[in-house]
Structure 1
Amino acid sequence: MSDFDSNPFADPDLNNPFKDPSVTQVTRNVPPGLDEYNPFSDSRTEHALTQAELVKRQEELERKAAELDRREREMQSLNQQAGRKNNWPPLPENFPVGPCFYQDFSVDIPVEFQKTVKIMYYLWMFHTVTLFLNIFGCLAWFYIDATRGVDFGLSILWFLLFTPCSFVCWYRPLYRAFRSDSSFRFFVFFFVYICQFAVHVLQAAGFQRWGNCGWISSLTGLNKSIPVGIMMIIIAALFTASAVISLVMFKKVHGLYRTTGASFEKAQQEFATGVMSNKTVQTAAANATSTAATSAAQNVFKGNRM
């Protein structure tokens, strides 16, 4: 009876499944490095980084979508109000002449280009202020040297000429190029702005009898009067700053232009489309066609009679 009274499950090795020979054989042959591998350590970190990046991208997309929705609603509201009203230059309502242009960076310019266009606008204002100060610098130079009347007169002319022309000839083409992604307007801007940069360099140089308080004129005025010379040197520094900033922004705009997919071929197509859609050109073409057809009919009629 002793054999029947013994407990076959009392043996601890028999109840432990990890003491089974098949299991112990596998655990003895564990590949090196596998016992140190933690499948939850790096994966959790990578997963957190990936999720954070996705959240960041999602927020950026939502921000752009909200900006586009806001611009679309503003455009719709403007269209409902019988079109956009010109708001630049900001003039009083009782002024006899009204604004000539419409300008709103948040409505017209895409978000990624707004900063660049604003800097170009501030650069135009900076150059305008410099030309205005140049008048007083040439006036002071004329005060200490009576032979500098030509420079004083030209300084007034340059202020009256370059202020509106620079706005219309290079700033507005740039504004409209970024607004409508126009290759043709980009080419107009680049062509005019190269000339504008040359003007900045000449103004910074300050040749005598050119109406600019540049470095050459400043050193000449410094020999006559130290206060006037210092005033002219400050204006020369402003002209130099305009030239340097203009070169930097030219490179920046050119880099942005290349990312927009613009090209010379697109500029040619836009120009041809704009010319053919012009009512004056269409009228002239229709008149020329009508005249040619009438002349051909008359020649045929005369030939038949002969």
Structure 2
Amino acid sequence: MKETILSLCPGPWSDYELIDTGGFEKLERFGNFILSRPEPQAIWDKSLPESEWRKLAHAHFAKEKNNPEKGQWQQIKPMPHNWSIEYENGDGLKMTLNLAQTSFKHIGLFPEQAVNWDYLFQKIKSFPNQKPKVLNLFAYTGAASVACRAAGAEVTHLDSVKQVVTWSKHNMESSGLEGIRWMVDDAMKFIKREARRGNVYQGIILDPPAYGRGPEGEKWILEEQINEMLKTCAEILDPKNHFLLLNMYSLSFSSLIAANLIRSNFGEVQNPEQGELYLEEKQGKKLPLGIFFRFSSF
């Protein structure tokens, strides 16, 4: 496997902009609204003064002292709790994505994933079969699922949280689509059942969290379980016509770890690509936001 490390950043996007980063925070524009949120990777100084951040932001996420993963939004200027933005890549993919302020600082969208939405859309459009079956695990609010469905795939969308599956359905409907299969389940249990049943998918997407819980309290720890999960994915991935996308956000992981995991469980794959995803801000700094490994038989 040739190990070429790529750094991928989304192209111009009229409804999204990373304005500045630093001081463990990021300042972003989503449509007409600007948000200030925590960002553990932004260990450098801000380029803009704090007064400019406060002037620009509509809302700021303040972390709880005892739980850095939770907190509350502080409204600085009037803005709605829920709003939507558009994504269009110039290659035929158009999506309407619904956003909301949540107590975990997230708003239902990871903009750096746009490069993967484009990849999935293009792969499905050029797929040897007319309608590939695609499984999206840890699918969150489903932008990747919507992109795959927009390209014509038969999509199974799985997440352990019922509310985000409902959010995903809203994204599908807002984008003028229908027909995604929704699953609220534990990802590991689901793919092991699929393997026992002999079910096969032509595309698999994995974007696992570092830590998580299934709908019945099943524990997920990335470094302890990702190898077993990929081993099972190898059993249900079509050996002839296929693609797989693995994305991980963990401060301790490099794309070389992802490459080793793929090699161990899939052997020598075709058309491998690996590296990191990042966003480039207006001030010129580049914010790393996860690693990826993807391959396809075509």
TM range (shorter): under 0.3
TM-score by length of 1: 0.24
Name the one with the larger helix percent: 1
**Looking at CA atoms only, which structure, 1 or 2, has the larger radius of gyration?**
1
Name the one with the larger strand percent: 2
